[in-house]
């Protein structure tokens, strides 16, 4: 799987007002959306639009002056959509990394008229990629169920 990487230093404008300034959750969400979109654009060779971002769980904080490294990989494709996993890590000065967030973003590829466009199929090669693909299909079924609930107002 080809990775797209983004690196940021947490600056004062990225932090909340707590006494030990922490990275604001909305900021990491924006960074996730950007690096995920870049991975999706590279994979599809098309413009993309964000459909949703799942499971945005903050495992650990990042603080002022931390280095945040994000790695995005395509995990699944459908006909016009694709899922991208984004791992966000704090990188220490010694080069070690600690996972602070994992998110799954879904994008739709767009043609020149901003209509959904076919995407190349993701073909998992390794056992790990095959498991990641199966897990992505499970997340898709859950999303579809929740999407139907939102449309109808009924519980699944």
Residue 6 has pLDDT above 70, yes or no: yes
Task: Give the number of other Cβ atoms within 10 Å of residue 94's Cβ.
Answer: 5
More confident residue, 1 or 61: 61
pTM (global) more than 0.85: yes
Residue 16 has pLDDT above 70, yes or no: yes
- How far is it, in rounded angstroms, from Cα 8 to Cα 119? 30
Q: Which pLDDT score, from 0 to 100, does residue 55 have?
A: 73
Q: Which pLDDT score, from 0 to 100, does residue 148 have?
A: 56
> pLDDT tens-digit profile of 18-68?
788 999 999 999 999 999 999 999 999 999 999 999 878 889 999 999 999
Q: Which pLDDT score, from 0 to 100, does residue 56 have?
A: 81
Q: Which pLDDT score, from 0 to 100, does residue 156 have?
A: 46
Residue 153 has pLDDT above 50, yes or no: no
Task: Give the number of other Cβ atoms within 10 Å of residue 61's Cβ.
Answer: 16
| Beta-carbon-side half-sphere exposure of residue 155 (alpha carbons within 13 Å) | 0
> pLDDT tens-digit profile of 115-141?
999 999 999 999 999 999 999 899 999
Distance, CA of 81 to chain centre = 13
Q: Which pLDDT score, from 0 to 100, does residue 63 have?
A: 94
């Amino acid at each position: 799987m080809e990775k797209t990487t983004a690196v940021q230093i947490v600056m004062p404008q990225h932090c909340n007002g707590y006494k030990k300034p922490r990275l604001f959750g909305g900021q990491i969400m924006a960074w996730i959306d950007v690096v995920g979109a870049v991975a999706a654009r590279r994979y599809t060779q098309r413009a993309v639009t964000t459909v949703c971002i799942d499971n945005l769980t903050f495992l650990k904080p990042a603080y002022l002056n931390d280095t945040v490294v994000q790695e995005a990989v395509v995990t699944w494709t459908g006909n016009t959509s694709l899922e991208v996993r984004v791992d966000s890590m704090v990188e220490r000065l010694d080069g070690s990394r600690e996972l602070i967030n994992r998110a799954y973003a879904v994008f739709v590829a767009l043609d020149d008229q901003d209509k959904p466009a076919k995407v190349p199929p993701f073909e998992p090669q390794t056992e790990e990629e095959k498991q990641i693909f199966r897990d992505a299909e499970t997340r898709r079924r859950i999303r579809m169920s929740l999407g139907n609930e939102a449309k109808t107002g009924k519980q699944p």
